[in-house]
Structure 1
Amino acid sequence: MTDRVEEVLARAAAPIEASPDELRAMADSRAVLTAATTEVYGTTRGFGPLAAYPADPDPRRQGLGLVSHLAVGQGEPLSPGVTRTMVWLRLRSMALGHSAVDPALWVALADQWNAGFTPVVPREGSLSASGDLVPLAHAALAAGGSGTELAWHDDAQVRAAGRLRALGLSPVVWEARTALAFVNGSSASLAQALHNHRTLRASVRLAAAATARIVTLLGADPAPYGEPLSRVRNQPGQRSVAAWIRAALPPDGVRADSRPLQERYSLRCAPQVLGAVLDQLDAQGTILSREADGCTDNPVIVDGDVHHGGNFHAAPVALATEAHAVCAHQVALLMERQLALLIDPTVNGGLPPMLTPAPGAASGLAGVQIAAASHLARLRQLAHPASTTTIPVNLENQDHTPLALNGANAVADMLERVRWIAGSLLVAVNQHTHLRPAATTGLWARLRAAIGPLDGDRPLAAAVRDAAALGLPEEG
C-alpha cells in the first residue's frame, strides 16, 4: 500500500527552492492583484468582518497589524519537526502561484527555512477556520525578527531575532498580501496530522509485530493469519497486516496441544482490526497528501482573475484527524487487551499471574496494567471529535469552524498514550521470555538486553518508557 504521507514528509525534509516556473507564476499572480480594479480582501479592505472597512493604505502596516493581532497562542509549542513541516507547507502553497505573494519575500522565507530557522509556535488557539491563523502568526512574527517571539536552537528556545542573526539571516518585512497568504491556510493542523499519521502507521506495524511474538510464545494457532482467510475477506489492509504477522511467525509453527481452537479476539482478530486501521490510514493519507499539494488561501488568483472563497477552511484535515483518533483507539485497545492476556494465568501458557515468579509475595505487572488502563481511559476522553465543538466567532463571520488543530493536538496526545500502552505490552512480552526463555532477535533481543527479569517488585515506569522508545521511537 502506498504511503502518500511519508512521501510528503520526505519532501518536507529536503531543501526547498522555487523553480523558475514557480517564481514566474508568483510574479504573474502578483501582477494580476496589482492591476485589479475591484476591491480585494485584505489588500484594499480589512480582515474578517472588517472587510467592510478600507485597509491601511500602507501595506506593510496592514501586514504587520494582521500577524500582530493574531499572535495570541498559548500552551506548549508544536514540536520543531511539526513546525518545520508547517512552514514548508505554507511555502509550497504560496509557490503554486495563486496567492499573489512577493517572490522576493518568498525566497527570503525559504532561505530561513533552508538554514534551519525554526520558530517556537504555541499549539493552542486555532479554530482552523480561516486557516490556522494564530500559530502561523507566531511563525510570521518570528520570521520578521519580532522581539516577542522565540526560535529553536537545538532543544533550547532563544530569541528569534538573535537566532536569525546567528544564522546570518535577515528578518523578513511583511506586507499585507504575503502576510495574509502565510497565515491563511490549514498548514499547522495539516502538519500535525501528517506527523500523527506517520506515528499511527508505525504503531500498527508494532502491534502486528507484538501479535506475532505473542502467538509464537504461546504456541497459538497461526491459521488466523493465513493468506486464504485474508484473500476471501477482500480488504487490502487485512492482507497486509496478516502478511506482516505471518512473516514473523516460525515457518513450521502449529497450534500447541495446550492452546484453544480459537484464541481471544485480541489475538485472533488482529489482522482484521489492524488491517481496518491500515485501510483508514490509506484513505486519510490520500486526503492529507492532496491538501499538502493544494492552495489553502483566500483570495486566490486563477486564470488571471481574483477569486474570493474559503479554501482556508480545514474541514478535510479535521475529518481525517477524527478518523486518526478512532484508529489510535483501536490500536491502543488491541495492545491493552493483549497485555491483559499475557498476565492472565488461565490463558498465558501456564505462567504465574501478573508474570511474577512469586505471586503474593510480589505483584509483578499489576501496576503496569493499572497504568495502561488509565492511559486507555484518558485516550478515550481525548478522542471526542473536535469538529463537533464549533463556536461561531468573528462577528459571526466564522460561523462554522472545524477545530482541526485542536483535533490534531488531541490525537498527538492520544499517540503519546499509545506509546505508553505499547511500552507496557512490550514489558510483558519481555517478562514472558525471561520466565520462559525463547529465541530472541531484533526488537526482542534489544528489549531483553535493556530490561532485566522481574524477579521481585521494582519501579517499572522507566522500563515502560524504555520499551516504548525501542518499539515506537519518537520523532526527533
Structure 2
Amino acid sequence: MVILDGEHLTFDQVEKVLNDGEMIKASEESMARVVKSREAVEKIVNEGRVIYGITTGFGKLSDVYIPSEDVEDLQINLIRSHACGVGDPFPEKVSRAMMLLRANALLKGFSGVRPVLIERLIELVNSNIHPVIPQQGSLGASGDLAPLSHLALVLVGEGEVFYKGERQPTEKVYQRLGIFPLTLTAKEGLALINGTQAMTAQGVVAVMEAIQLAKQSEAISALTIEALNGIVTAFDESVHKARGYQEQIDVAARLREYLSGSSLVTEQGELRVQDAYSLRCIPQVHGATWQALNYVIEKLQIEMNAATDNPLIFDDGDKVISGGNFHGQPIALAMDFLGIAMAEVANISERRIERLVNPQLNDLPPFLSKNSGLESGAMILQYAAASLVSENKTLAHPASVDSIPSSANQEDHVSMGTIGSRHAYQIIQNVRRVLAIELFCAMQALEFRDKDKMAERTKAVYLKGREQVPAVEHDRVFSKDIEKLAGWLLTNEWKQLFLESLKL
C-alpha cells in the first residue's frame, strides 16, 4: 500500500502503482489539511469575497464576479468547456499516473477541494478505472487544462473510461459498479485542471522506460564490442577518472564488468590501436545521457509533490494568492532534454549497427549473411535504424522554445511541456527499436565468432536473446524479429537477469 501525503511520493512508489497495481490511500494528516483548506473556501464563498476561480470567471474572464448561487454551474461549465482535447488517448498507464499525481497534489492542502474528490481519484486508481484522455490540446501553462478536464469529466460521471480492457462511457461503468457521480462545488473544477499532471505523468512513464533502455544499451553495446573484437583498454578506469564525470566512470565500470573474462575483446595495439568513436566513446556518450536522466528525475521528483494549481490557499484562507505554479516550464525543459539525450543513445547505436553490417568496417561476412549476394542479410536493418534515428532528430526539436498567447493574451507565455513529454516518449519508443536492431545484429555477428570465448554476462544476454529470435540461416521477414526483441526489452526479465546484479 502506497500512502499519499502530498510531500513524499517517490519514483519507486509510482512504479509500483503503475506497473504492479499497488493500492493507494491518503494519510490522515494530509486529509486533515484538506479539510481545513476546504473550510477556508466555504468561508470565502459565504462572505462573498472576490477571489479568482472561486467567485470569479477564469482566464481573461477573471474580472467577472460569480454569485454564490452559481458557483456549481461555474465549475461544471469550466470542465465541459475545457474538455476539448483531441487525438489518440494517452496510454492507460499515463492516465493512471495522472490520477495518482493529481490526488497527491491536492493532498498538500493548498487547493480547497473536499476530501470526497480525492477519495474518488483514489477509488478510480484502486479499481483500475482509467479516464480516456486525448493526448493533444494542452499548451502546458494554466495547467494541462484540456487533458485534466477529460480526467475531471469522469469524476462527475461523464466522458469515457478504460475498464477491463474496454473503452466505455463512464456512466455505464459507474452504474455497473454502484459509483455515484460527484457534483463539483466552489473552486473544485479549477483545482482539478490547474496543474501539470499530464506532462508530468507522461514524463514519469517516459523516464522509467528511458532508465531501463539506458541500462540495456550498455549490455547490448557490450555484445557489439565482442562481435567486433573491440578494444577494452579505452574503458580503463584511469581514463574516465581523469575526466571526472561520475556517470561516465560508472558506464565504463559496467562495460568492464559485462566484458570481464571475454576472450573476444582485445587490448590496445593487439589488432589495431584505436576503435571508432561509436565503440571507444560509449562511456562518454552514454554517461552524458545518464547525466541528463538524473536531471530529469530530479525535476520530476519535485513536480510529483508540487502544488501546481491556482489560486493557492494559505493561513486558513487569510492568504489566497493567484500565482503561476501551473506553468510547465521546468518540466518542459526537462522533457526536451530527455528527448535529446535518448535520441543520442539511438544515434550512437545506429553507428554501431553500421559497423556490424558493413564489410568495409569489419572482418565479418557482408551484411552478416551466410549467402551474401544471393541473400541481403541485415542490409536493410541498418536502413530501418537510420530511419528511426532521423525521425528522432525531428521529434527532438525543443517544444519549449515555442509559445503562443492564449485567453485573449492574458496567458501570453506558455511552456508546451506536454508536447515535449509526448515527443520524448515517442523518441524512447524509437530508441527501443534501434537497440533491438543492434542486439539482433550483434547476436548474428557473434554467430561467426567462437561463442565459448564470450564473457559470462554477455553470453547470458546472447542466450536469452536467442530464446526470442533464432539465428539467421536464410533471409526472412526481419520486422517480426525486431518487434519481438523490442517487446522483450520492455519486460522485467532484463531487470531480473542482467541489470540488478550490476552496480546500476
Q: How would you bin the TM-score normalised by the shorter chain?
A: over 0.9
Over the aligned positions, Cα root-mean-square deviation in angstroms equals 2.1
Q: Counterparts of 1:149-164 in structure 2 under 5 Å?
A: 149-164=159-174
The answer to whether the Cα contact below 8 Å between 1:216 and 1:250 also exists between their aligned partners in 2 is no
Q: Determine what percentage of the aligned residue pairs are the same residue.
A: 30
> For 2:111 and 2:278, how far apart are their aligned partners in 1?
50
> For 1:467 and 1:259, how far apart are their aligned partners in 2?
32
> For 1:167 and 1:182, how far apart are their aligned partners in 2?
23
How far residue 333 of structure 1 moved from its aligned partner, in angstroms, is 0.4
CA 1:269–1:332 in structure 2 vs 1: closer, same or farther (change >3 Å)? same
1:217 paired with 2:231, answer no
- Which 10-residue stretch deviates more, 412-421 or 118-127? 412-421
The answer to whether the Cα contact below 8 Å between 1:119 and 1:143 also exists between their aligned partners in 2 is no
The answer to whether the Cα contact below 8 Å between 1:115 and 1:167 also exists between their aligned partners in 2 is no
The answer to whether the Cα contact below 8 Å between 1:220 and 1:259 also exists between their aligned partners in 2 is no
Stretches (4+) displaced over 6 A: none
How far residue 160 of structure 1 moved from its aligned partner, in angstroms, is 1.5
> For 1:6 and 1:104, how far apart are their aligned partners in 2?
27
The answer to whether the Cα contact below 8 Å between 1:109 and 1:172 also exists between their aligned partners in 2 is no
How far residue 241 of structure 1 moved from its aligned partner, in angstroms, is 1.2
> For 1:19 and 1:453, how far apart are their aligned partners in 2?
54
Helix, strand or coil: the match of 2:131? coil
1:39 paired with 2:50, answer yes
Q: Counterparts of 1:303-382 in structure 2 under 5 Å?
A: 303-304=315-316, 305-348=319-362, 350-382=363-395
- Which 10-residue stretch deviates more, 66-75 or 113-122? 113-122
Q: Which amino acid aligns with 2:15?
A: L
Q: Which amino acid aligns with 2:475?
A: D
The answer to whether the Cα contact below 8 Å between 2:131 and 2:154 also exists between their aligned partners in 1 is yes
How far residue 234 of structure 1 moved from its aligned partner, in angstroms, is 1.3
The answer to whether the Cα contact below 8 Å between 1:206 and 1:472 also exists between their aligned partners in 2 is no
> For 1:19 and 1:5, how far apart are their aligned partners in 2?
18
Q: Which amino acid aligns with 2:117?
A: L
Helix, strand or coil: the match of 1:411? helix
Helix, strand or coil: the match of 1:109? helix
The answer to whether the Cα contact below 8 Å between 2:405 and 2:411 also exists between their aligned partners in 1 is yes
CA 1:94–1:126 in structure 2 vs 1: closer, same or farther (change >3 Å)? same
The answer to whether the Cα contact below 8 Å between 1:42 and 1:55 also exists between their aligned partners in 2 is no
- Which 10-residue stretch deviates more, 350-359 or 440-449? 440-449
1:15 pairs with one of 20, 23, 34? 23
1:208 paired with 2:222, answer no
Aligned to 1:461: 479
Aligned to 2:266: 255
How far residue 214 of structure 1 moved from its aligned partner, in angstroms, is 1.6
2:279 pairs with one of 267, 280, 286? 267
> For 1:333 and 1:451, how far apart are their aligned partners in 2?
24
The answer to whether the Cα contact below 8 Å between 2:86 and 2:134 also exists between their aligned partners in 1 is yes
2:32 pairs with one of 21, 24, 31? 24
> For 1:176 and 1:128, how far apart are their aligned partners in 2?
24
The answer to whether the Cα contact below 8 Å between 1:64 and 1:176 also exists between their aligned partners in 2 is no
Q: Counterparts of 1:14-413 in structure 2 under 5 Å?
A: 14-36=22-44, 38-55=49-66, 57-146=69-158, 149-251=159-261, 253=263, 255=266, 259-304=271-316, 305-348=319-362, 350-413=363-426
> For 1:236 and 1:155, how far apart are their aligned partners in 2?
44
How far residue 473 of structure 1 moved from its aligned partner, in angstroms, is 4.0
- Which 10-residue stretch deviates more, 180-189 or 453-462? 453-462
Gaps of 5+ in 2: 1-8, 453-457, 494-504
- Which 10-residue stretch deviates more, 338-347 or 250-259? 250-259
- Which 10-residue stretch deviates more, 159-168 or 331-340? 159-168
TM-score normalised by L of structure 2: 0.89
Q: Which amino acid aligns with 1:402?
A: S
Helix, strand or coil: the match of 2:161? strand
Helix, strand or coil: the match of 2:87? strand
TM-score normalised by L of structure 1: 0.94
How far residue 127 of structure 1 moved from its aligned partner, in angstroms, is 0.5
> For 2:394 and 2:141, how far apart are their aligned partners in 1?
24
Helix, strand or coil: the match of 1:75? strand
The answer to whether the Cα contact below 8 Å between 1:210 and 1:426 also exists between their aligned partners in 2 is yes
Aligned to 2:465: 447
